[in-house]
Amino acid sequence: MGNMILLADEVEGKRFFPCPKCRGRNLVDEVEHGGRTRVRVFGFEPGE
């Protein structure tokens, strides 16, 4: 499937996947788990 972090948008140093329904942001970062790099959702910013 590839590295999902490359598909995330970035604004002001924050990486996120936008929510098309509420226009919020699912904040993501990279973590290493089991010897592999994964994308982790660590927060949410509501839309305007």
Residue 38 vs residue 1, higher pLDDT: 38
Locate 24 and state its tokens.
């919020």
Give me the residue label for tokens 């788990």.
33
Cβ atoms < 10 Å from Cβ of 10: 9
DSSP percent split of the chain into helix, strand, coil, nearest 5: 10, 55, 35
Rounded CA-CA distance 32/6 in Å is 16
pLDDT digits over 2-47, tens only?
678 888 999 999 999 999 999 999 999 999 989 988 999 999 999 8
> What integer pLDDT is reported at residue 5 of this predicted model?
84
pLDDT greater than 60 at residue 1: no
> What integer pLDDT is reported at residue 2 of this predicted model?
61
